[in-house]
Structure 1
Amino acid sequence: MVVAEHGVTGGRHAVILCHPDPASFNHAIAGAYCDAVRAAGQEVVLRDLYAAGFDPVLKAAERPTTVAAAYGQDVLDEVDAISGCDVFVLVYPIWFGTPPAMLKGYVERVFGAGVQPEALQGRVRTDLLGGKRLVSFSTSAASKIWLDEQGQAQGLNSVFDQYIVHAFGMRSQEHRRFAHIVPGLNARFADQYLREVTVQAQRTCAQIAFGDEALLADPALVTRMAR
């Protein structure tokens, strides 16, 4: 933990970005979140998976059920980079109803490193994620109406968000979804969405700094993080 410029205890955020295009709206989301966290006096670690060339393929020797499992240096480097974070922020597009394979591979190789199946089923708090917060931002080229008709939000929440929270013993999860993100996105809508990202980041910073109960009692504490 770090001491924020506002005189309150701050936190550390791991922003895990998974999109191949540096000019994408996903990159803008990650940037807006990081800027808001730094403005609140807290620390942020950005992991751009495509820029890093992260290998999502789980190796046979890395399987938790393998005796004396051996992890690749890239996995060890990622675990070291995001250890000690209070919030894990996933930023990704929805492709064919699910996150990109690279992000799924990150969950398997990094989040799941050394975690036994029995621990997952028992919702045991893991060293890396246990008791921490999950915040997700996802984008889709499809409209919200179409996505709702497919049950996409409910399905993704069940098989990805809630699974991660429960399997690794995390504290809570929030998910912001942005639909109809296409080339030529209207600047007014883009700005509105990015403001929502900033507000979410400020709210999460306030949760860490002041606690959930204090924030419920005084929502104005979020404004304090924006100063």
Structure 2
Amino acid sequence: MMHIQGPAVAQGGRHAVILCHPDPHSFNRAIANCYCKEVRAAGQETVLRDLYAMQFDPVLYANERPTLATPVLAKDVIAERNILWGCDVFVLIYPIWFGSAPAMMKGYVERVFGAGVSPEDVRRQDRGVLLGGKRLLSFTTSTLSQYWLSEAGQETALTTIFDDYIVHAFGMQAKEHMRFAQVTGEMRQPSAEQHLARVARQARRTCGQVASAARRPTS
């Protein structure tokens, strides 16, 4: 694996919140805001990366391919990895589009998470310096009902091809996924508030897990 050293960071809980939705007023943005608010209230740090607002380029270029002996990382990838350096939790927030994550989120995983990671590293579950041993938490939304998603196998498929693969490929230690169905422009306020209350509880629980891990003695 190509080891990419990042800058020194302060100790303590640090959460990378990676949002992928084109509408700055979307419910996905509300999820990100709620999560960040709860993490900061717990005395931990958030690093919000709004991919559309950043105009992140999801295209993996020929000289970045992980199959090359010496892939060349672009400046934007290096800068992004430096920003993420030292995070304990990586939170992905995105809508389910045509059965999977949006192309921009997939490109972020390929270019930023996968930078310098070879197929052999993936096979060995090599713990990379950025993601190795860290937590993965996902929040996804769909306009369809929970029943339809279950019947169509969407929940199992997305967990297998995205969450499980990310954890395996980059040597992460744990994953959790919270799904919200029937998220539309007509969603009633009580439903939205109920969903965000679940986000807040999950944020507090994750902060507790990070704090507990930090207190655990190392051998």
Q: Tell me the TM-score normalised to structure 2 length.
A: 0.92
SS at match of 1:115: coil
Q: Is the 8 A contact 1:2 1:42 kept in 2?
A: no
Looking at structure 2, the residues matched to 81 and 195 of structure 1 have their Cα atoms a distance apart, in angstroms, of: 29
The correspondence for 1:52, drawn from 54, 76, 100, is 54
The correspondence for 1:87, drawn from 79, 85, 89, is 89
- Aligned residue number for residue 125 of structure 1: 127
The letter of the residue matching 1:78 is E
Q: Is the 8 A contact 1:19 1:92 kept in 2?
A: yes
How far off is 1:184 after superposition?
A: 2.0
How far off is 1:117 after superposition?
A: 0.6
- Aligned residue number for residue 177 of structure 1: 179
Structure 1, residues 63-118: CA drift from partner, whole Å, max 9, x if none?
12223311111111110111110000000000000000000000000000000110
Change (3 A) 1:130 1:73: same
Looking at structure 2, the residues matched to 95 and 160 of structure 1 have their Cα atoms a distance apart, in angstroms, of: 13
- Aligned residue number for residue 221 of structure 1: none
- Aligned residue number for residue 170 of structure 2: 168
What is the CA RMSD across the aligned residues, in angstroms?
Answer: 1.5
- Aligned residue number for residue 188 of structure 1: 190
The correspondence for 1:103, drawn from 105, 111, 120, is 105
SS at match of 2:185: coil
- Aligned residue number for residue 153 of structure 2: 151
How far off is 1:2 after superposition?
A: 5.2
Looking at structure 2, the residues matched to 65 and 96 of structure 1 have their Cα atoms a distance apart, in angstroms, of: 28
- Aligned residue number for residue 37 of structure 2: 35
Q: Which moved more, 1:64-73 or 1:167-176?
A: 64-73
Q: Is the 8 A contact 1:86 1:133 kept in 2?
A: yes
SS at match of 1:211: helix
* Structure 2: tracts of 5 or more residues without a match: 1-8
SS at match of 2:130: coil
The letter of the residue matching 1:131 is G
Aligned structure 1 segments of 4 or more residues deviating by more than 4 angstroms = none
* Structure 1: tracts of 5 or more residues without a match: 4-9, 215-227
Looking at structure 2, the residues matched to 137 and 147 of structure 1 have their Cα atoms a distance apart, in angstroms, of: 15
Looking at structure 1, the residues matched to 46 and 158 of structure 2 have their Cα atoms a distance apart, in angstroms, of: 26
Looking at structure 1, the residues matched to 19 and 126 of structure 2 have their Cα atoms a distance apart, in angstroms, of: 26
Q: Is the 8 A contact 1:38 1:44 kept in 2?
A: yes
Identity %: 59
